[in-house]
Amino acid sequence: MTTAKLKVSVTLSADLVALVDRDAERRRDTRSGVVEKWLRRAANANVEQEIADATAAYYRSLRGEERSDDEALSRGLSAAARRVSYDGVPATRRRRGLR
């Protein structure tokens, strides 16, 4: 699926244009391509930060039994994840009492 492109005009400082040009040359891309990639990366980072902030706020809001339930679930899922074999590599066994 191709996203429609819009032509826009922006004014940038000369040092930033030099960075864009260097990156465009290195990537064998256009200024527009580089700027779009940079903007997408920044937008994605912003969304990731918003998710991290919302997640942290959720866990800070847990009280009493909710917190205990969440901690028990976390311990159980972590233990289960340690038993999962990834890419054909056997899961390592952890000896009890080494926490």
What's the pLDDT band for 9 if we cut at 50, 70, 90? Answer: very high
For residues 73 and 66, is the Cβ–Cβ distance under 8 A? no
DSSP for 38-75 reads HHHHHHHHHHHHHHHHHHHHHHHH--HHHHHHHHHHHH
- Which pTM was predicted? 0.59
- Position 88 scores a pLDDT of 72
As a whole number, the mean pLDDT across the chain is 88
pLDDT value of residue 16: 97
For 50-82, the pLDDT digits (tens) are 999 998 898 888 888 888 888 888 889 898 888
Comparing 39 with 93, the larger pLDDT belongs to: 39
